[in-house]
């Protein structure tokens, strides 16, 4: 078994991926055509060529523009189904997917279309591929807290089917603490919670999230790497950090993957895992992220298994499902060594 096969067959949880950012350019064009929406790119190739970003905000402008092509329940269904098919093909056992309803409801798209499409596709993907998936309803930090609280009210009819609550959007200038009332309410309602922090924002934003928000995990968290005291704290409380290396690279968080802090954080005992964020925009789904990191950071099979174990331990899946998956990761690692051992024996015979 080579490293590509090891990664492909490794059971994984994808915890950090935005449906709005999972649109392959071909699908973006076909949804635009289906809904009679004109695009400013003359071709699919021209759109793909526009995937050059100076930073998060620069990317988000294109990402929000792409949201215009989602209109009907079928659109939300199709995008979710396409992503879950891809994830299942990559050996993802559990997928927790974000979508921020505010981009759509502000254009008059009913929440019923969003929820019906996403939850319907999650159910059907489970029946056809066996993948376990959940929808993490996300709000935008550049909008008001009142607006975020309204989202919580609006999703109440679907509360039992919602996997968790998150927050994304431009980070610098929008520290997370302002959303304390929103997170307190989400927790009081029984939701699992996560927040984007420490993608571009300083370590102080991560501290603020830890101090002020009742959160079960942090999305990104990589700017903690230079702050030893914060690293100790994140290791001590085993706060899951959903790291997106190709996203960090493409949004210029780090000049190369070789200097990405993933391995340092893993070696320090932090509960880091690897995810794709917005796969077509950043050049890879979860396996491409793992493979690129394994090459750039010289990750061992043990490192990759630890990342996979962390992905399940940080997930919002039921505890029995997490336990089963962790056992499967360990078994996969054992199988890898057993198969490579026998190859070596065959080779030296
Ligand atoms: N950060 C914040 N918001 C986002 C991102 C991200 O990386 N991707 C999509 N929305
Ligand atoms: Zn994200």
278 lines ligand 1 (CB under 6 A): yes
Structure confidence by residue, pLDDT tens digits, 301-344: 999 999 999 999 999 999 999 999 999 999 999 999 999 886 65
Ligand 1 atom closest to 100 (CA): 10
Domains and CATH numbers, the chain: 3-344 (3.20.20.140)
Q: What ligand has the least distance to the C-alpha of 64?
A: 1
Instruction: Give how far the C-alpha of residue 260 lies from the chain's centroid of Cα atoms, to the nearest Å.
Output: 18
Return the pLDDT at 113: 98
Q: How many angstroms is it from 15 CA to the middle of ligand 2?
A: 10
> Which of 164-180 are b and which e, b meaning 16 or more Cβ less than 10 Å from the residue's Cβ?
bbbbbbbbeebbbeebb
Q: Is 235 exposed, middle or buried (0-12, 13-18, 19+ CB in 10 A)?
A: middle
Round to whole Å and give the CA distance between 112 and 66.
Answer: 21
Contact indicator for 289, 276 with CB cutoff of 8 Å: yes
Q: SS3 of 309, please?
A: helix
The stretches of the chain forming alpha helices (DSSP H) are: 3-9, 25-34, 44-49, 56-66, 73-89, 102-105, 111-129, 145-154, 180-188, 203-212, 228-236, 245-250, 262-267, 279-282, 286-296, 301-313, 319-348
Confidence of residue 139 (pLDDT cuts 50, 70, 90): very high
- Residue among 53, 102, 168, 248 to mutate when testing ligand 1 (max atoms within 8 A of CB): 168
Q: What ligand has the least distance to the C-alpha of 97?
A: 2
Round to whole Å and give the CA distance between 89 and 40.
Answer: 32
| Edge-to-edge order in the sheet of strand 132-140 | 12-14, 92-99, 132-140, 162-168
Structure confidence by residue, pLDDT tens digits, 225-279: 999 999 999 999 999 999 999 999 999 999 999 999 999 999 999 999 999 999 9
Ligand 1 atom closest to 170 (CA): 2
- Residue among 16, 51, 59, 244 to mutate when testing ligand 1 (max atoms within 8 A of CB): 59
Q: At a CB cut-off of 8 Å and minimum separation 6, what does 197 contact? A: 171, 176, 205, 206, 208, 209, 218, 219, 220, 221
Return the pLDDT at 348: 40
Structure confidence by residue, pLDDT tens digits, 199-218: 999 999 999 999 999 999 99
Residue 28 has pLDDT above 60, yes or no: yes
Round to whole Å and give the CA distance between 68 and 91.
Answer: 31
Round to whole Å and give the CA distance between 58 and 317.
Answer: 33
Residue 347 has pLDDT above 70, yes or no: no
19 lines ligand 1 (CB under 6 A): no
Q: How many angstroms is it from 217 CA to the middle of ligand 2?
A: 13
Q: How many angstroms is it from 349 CA to the middle of ligand 2?
A: 50
Which residues sit opposite 97 in a β-bridge?
Answer: 135
Identify the active-site residue in 199, 200, 288, 320: 199
Q: Which of 72, 77, 219, 83 is nearest to 141 (CA)?
A: 219
Return the pLDDT at 342: 65
- Residue among 14, 17, 18, 254 to mutate when testing ligand 1 (max atoms within 8 A of CB): 18
Return the pLDDT at 35: 98
Ligand 1 atom closest to 220 (CA): 7
CB count, 10 Å around CB of 145? Answer: 16
Residue 199: active-site member: yes
Residue 104 has pLDDT above 90, yes or no: yes
Return the pLDDT at 302: 97
Contact indicator for 181, 215 with CB cutoff of 8 Å: no
């Amino acid at each position: 078994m080579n490293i590509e096969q090891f990664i492909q067959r490794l059971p994984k949880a994808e915890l950090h991926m935005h449906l709005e950012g999972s649109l392959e350019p071909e699908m973006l064009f076909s949804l635009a055509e289906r809904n009679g929406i004109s695009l400013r790119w003359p071709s699919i190739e021209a759109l793909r060529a526009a995937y050059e970003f100076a930073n998060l905000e620069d990317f988000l402008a294109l990402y929000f523009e792409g949201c215009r092509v989602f209109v009907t329940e079928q659109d939300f269904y199709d995008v979710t189904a396409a992503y879950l098919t891809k994830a299942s093909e990559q050996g993802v056992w559990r997928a927790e997917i974000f979508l921020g309803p505010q981009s759509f409801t502000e254009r008059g798209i009913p929440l019923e279309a969003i929820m019906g499409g996403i939850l319907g596709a999650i159910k059907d993907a489970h029946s056809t591929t066996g993948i376990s998936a959940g929808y993490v309803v996300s709000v935008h930090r550049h909008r008001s807290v009142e607006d975020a609280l309204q989202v919580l009210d609006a999703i109440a009819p679907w509360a039992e089917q919602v996997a968790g609550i998150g927050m994304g959007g431009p980070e610098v200038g929008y520290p997370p603490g302002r959303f304390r009332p929103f997170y307190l309410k989400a927790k009081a309602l029984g939701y699992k919670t996560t927040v984007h922090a420490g993608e571009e924002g300083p370590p102080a934003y991560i501290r603020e999230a830890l101090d002020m928000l009742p959160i079960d995990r942090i999305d990104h968290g990589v700017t903690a790497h230079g702050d030893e005291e914060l690293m100790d704290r994140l290791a001590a409380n085993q706060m899951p950090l959903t790291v997106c290396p190709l996203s960090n690279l493409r949004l210029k968080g780090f000049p190369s993957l070789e200097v990405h802090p993933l391995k340092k954080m893993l070696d320090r005992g932090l509960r880091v895992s690897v995810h794709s964020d917005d796969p077509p925009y950043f050049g890879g789904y979860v396996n491409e992220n793992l493979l690129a990191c394994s090459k750039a950071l010289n990750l061992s099979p043990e490192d990759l298994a630890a990342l996979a174990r962390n992905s399940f331990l940080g997930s919002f899946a039921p505890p029995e499902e997490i336990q089963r998956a962790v056992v499967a990761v360990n078994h996969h690692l054992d199988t890898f060594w057993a198969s490579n051992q026998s190859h070596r024996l065959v080779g030296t015979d």
